[in-house]
Amino acid sequence: MKQFLLLITLISVQFSFSQEFAFRSLNALPISSNAAFTGISSNPRLNYGIGVTNLWSDTYTLQNYASYDQSVKVLHGGVGAELIHGTMLGYQNSNTQFNLSYSFQQNLSENFSLSIGTRLELSQHRINVNEFYGLSNSIDSIQVTNRANYALSALVYSKKFFIGGIYAPFSYPTYWGEFETVNTYSGIIGYSLTPFKNKNISILGVVNYSYQDGFQTLTAQAAFNTKKVSFGSSVTARSYFTVFAGYQFGQFNFKAVTGINSSPLTSAKQTSQELIIQYKLPSLNNAVSKRFDLNLF
């Protein structure tokens, strides 16, 4: 029974838009979801994140994330790098992913700017076939697959509004030693309202839609933001619900996310907790386009 649950869980993870053990928080790690966000912040950003997901009973996955991005005037855009590692605790199953991203940026008008991003993803997937199928034999049961993927994205943004899209042909290994490619299309739109007299208080609403090989997801997020504090929630239709909070202390942003997942393929409930720390380095004064900051969420 446990091997069957493992099979269903890994299949559902493969077809999720998080791609294996990725983080679930929509805007906490912007360049993770859309390469066009690379280098459009006022400051270079250094991120570290850790997340734990309880798949069922005593089975957990552990994710570690690190990234850096900044604007580079000579390249007329921004550059960034990410390293993500996820492992299923107690099993010899893991995924390591290294991403390089670049965004070309251009002012469209006094208020709006365009960013066109691309990302190259290099990853290694390790799985213990014996554990996965519940087998037992003396041969080496570790299956290792390496792959390279890319994504193209675009973003139009102002200080209060952004809209963008992503195309990502995602190639992943099947459990029979072959590769299968599915195309992912994703769109995102967000708007920041300042309905109060204090203009440092805002409400950010974001909607993200993704389509992948017949699977569709729609996620809506709302966050209440001040210059120091943020809190809110996000909902992915029929599958995922999160609550989150953030606090800014000097150049540091601390972000915490907790969520509940109900896979459409199983009746099992999964929970996850994530902690993300962002450090904003001093501005390099080499901005190419107008700056856009997601602050906390």
The full set of domain ranges for the chain reads: 2-280
**Structure confidence at residue 25 (pLDDT):** 73
Q: Cα separation of 292 and 37, whole Å?
A: 9
Confidence of residue 230 (pLDDT cuts 50, 70, 90): very high
Q: Could you give the percent of the chain with pLDDT greater than 70? A: 80
Alpha helices in 55-198 (DSSP H): 129-133
Instruction: Give which of 240, 203, 236 is closest to 219, Cα–Cα.
Output: 236
Per-residue pLDDT tens over the stretch 139-193: 567 778 888 889 999 999 998 899 999 999 877 656 555 667 788 899 999 999 9
The answer on pLDDT for 233 being more than 80 is yes
Q: Cα separation of 288 and 281, whole Å?
A: 17
28 contact partners, CB below 8 Å, separation of at least 6? 49, 244, 246, 255, 257, 274, 276, 297
Q: Name the DSSP class of 28.
A: T
Q: Is 24 exposed, middle or buried (0-12, 13-18, 19+ CB in 10 A)?
A: buried
Tokens of 277: 């720390």
Q: Cα separation of 159 and 274, whole Å?
A: 28
CATH superfamily of 2-280: monomeric porin ompg (2.40.160.40)
